[in-house]
Structure 1
């Protein structure tokens, strides 16, 4: 459905507010209009499906804004939510007795959650369903901004069906702050974390290992990139190797005239090939 229907697309280069203004100006549907459009869509009318989707894009924006704290591009979050909305419209039936809004919330959040878990480096430990539930609910379940007490942590663990240690570890990851490795003072009597670290840089085998690793990460990466086709290489470089923070999936979709989902598929396949090339080079 998402390839057959043209929708307004959020981008990461200054027009996000214009996109939000546009979707908020699209009229809401009455219950009768929604029912009629859903019936037409179930009969194969794609134009009816488009109207159902357009009228609910503002819902996606509202939900996506609730995930600002994960450090990901808001335009990408919205577009992932839009994919969830399209999946919901595809499965929506009037016989369910519920409005599309209520039915679509689950699908929108599911797509956004999956996107966050794929891209946020701090949540790699969230691999099981209970751990994912912990990740997305811990902040709202905390009663204050102070550290969790043992009783509060145990209550959250029991409620979400995870181990107490998992609650404490996730709490530390989500609330921990950076600490300067090098001290700000030149005072000989002051100490900083770096003063307690052993210096192995001058050890000959360590120097050789570092040089080999650097060569793999630079020359090896460039060699691996050269093995990709032009489109795949450009997508990877534009997304992850650009100095300005990189392009979004939707920026690249506009360049190639395809859907953001297609760009994501090409990117995933290219990254898989790169990992294989680098493993071969290291071996």
Structure 2
């Protein structure tokens, strides 16, 4: 999904067709490729791709797959916007997910995950930014266009929407770094000696993003841990992926157990919102 999730959804939804070998040794094809030489899609045939996608090889070994390609248009811009809380920022992002405007990616982060995006040391990040009167919502908006005139109009509309929603665009952030994937790994999982981290997440309705974060934040703070929260809005806003990461020292059994307990309790709480 990465930076095309708003257009195409998850990686599974980018698959046009596939070839797999069954346990019996039979070779099967799913999608248009089973009737022609072209792997252009999975419709209007019965869609059997779900028999193999997400099963990690237990129903068959996938030997070929066709992946959708999307053009990278000439004009592109990444916005980074911040707000006081998730309750302020999430509704703005959901509004943007429904207006078109060439938006191909919408990402939501809390202050903790922003640390990873900026590759900052997690030890310098307050456990609870709200206590320090720091913004706990960051949104990343990516838009693209074919012509400059189209791009300018889209950007003007996007800026109007996020400003009316109470979000601001901080100065001095190099948004070009956002196109250099993956950028968050070192900061999120500090791979220096002893560094470690683990997340728990789910796919859920976009209406539950702020609630998901509130539950995760409460559990993490209960154990004195910094919650790193990330959500990506998918497929035009129809649903999202939401994750909470907890860092820990792999050489410290107490930290490992603490992180395990936090993630366990987050998992149990998320079930209450159908995540």
TM-score scaled by structure 1?
0.23
The one of the two structures with greater contact order (alpha-carbon pairs below 8 A, sep at least 6) is: 2
TM-score scaled by structure 2?
0.23
- Is the helix fraction higher in 1 or 2? 1
Higher Cα Rg, which structure: 1
